Amino acid sequence: MPRRNQPRRRSGGPPENRDRPGPGAGFGASRVESGPDGEWMVRTVPGAQATKLYRCPGCDHEIRPGVAHVVAWPAADRGSADDRRHWHNGCWRARERRGPTRRWS
């Protein structure tokens, strides 16, 4: 059988939806996490896609580009871009034992 230089079709859904990325495709899916401080939407950011410098509210240290981390925002009303905070993975897991080091206003 002759070889074709066309990509293989992916199964599932109509062809126009197969190549369209889903919401949050670059950063993985968001999930809801419950904690003593309420419900949060959380998204994992892989190190390869972390391109900016952020400050972690858990330890008040920088999250440098290339470092994997999580982004969290209040689940109530889905929050807005102003409500998002970037946390080190360990700081996010330890937030029950230690709260944010700064007051975010």
Q: What is the mean pLDDT of residues 57-79?
A: 89
- pLDDT class of 96 with cuts at 50, 70, 90: confident
pLDDT of 52 above 80? yes
Predicted pLDDT at 35: 80
Residue with tokens 């998002």: 84
Burial class (CB in 10 A: 0-12, 13-18, 19+), 70: buried
- Residue 86 three-state SS: strand
Cα–Cα distance measured from residue 58 to residue 89, given in angstroms and rounded to the nearest whole number:
10
| Confidence check: pLDDT of 93 > 60 | yes
Q: What residues pair up with 38 in beta bridges, in sequence order?
A: 35
State how far the Cα of 19 lies from the Cα of 15, in Å rounded to an integer.
8
Q: In degrees, to the nearest 5, what angle opens at C-alpha 93 toward C-alphas 87 and 99?
A: 70
Per-residue pLDDT tens over the stretch 18-39: 443 333 444 567 889 888 778 8
Contact 46, 28 (CB under 8 A): yes
**Who's near 34: CB < 8 A, 6+ residues apart?**
40
| Whole-number average pLDDT of the chain | 76
